[in-house]
Structure 1
Amino acid sequence: METITTKTLELEFNLTNGDRYTLSLPDYLADLTQEQIETAAAIIVAKKLFVPDGVNLDSLFGFQYVDKIVRKTEV
């Protein structure tokens, strides 16, 4: 049996058109604080680092840590 563990930080942004956009960052650092995440998100928005489908990010809506363990068995 093979076990695969992944860690992803998902940042959900409000777009200027009213929609939302999720940016997934793999292998986040375990000791990230909310302040560090919010500061990084503000920089991403201010510098327009991501413009999905030509629409600017407006603000950080929220974030979540996604920790996943997969145990794969071949028969």
Structure 2
Amino acid sequence: MASMKILVALGFLAILASLGTALFFMMRNGKDNKQRGQRMVWALALRVALSILLFVCLLLAWKLGYIQPTGIPLQ
């Protein structure tokens, strides 16, 4: 179960790194705006793909019983 927490944490870090890369390309000054824009779009598309992949992996892990939902009991 600890490995699942590590995988989720690594997934979130990858998503944040991709978001930071997009921010870097957005804020960077340069003459070639088209290439900068393409890199920013690629980084944001990667972030969306990683987010979807993380969601699907969490859903699959829940369905297979690797993780259990916890929360406030209903009473």
For normalisation by structure 1, the TM-score amounts to: 0.31
Q: Of Structure 1 and Structure 2, which has the larger fraction of its residues in helix?
A: 2
Larger Rg: 2
Q: Of Structure 1 and Structure 2, which has the larger fraction of its residues in strand?
A: 1
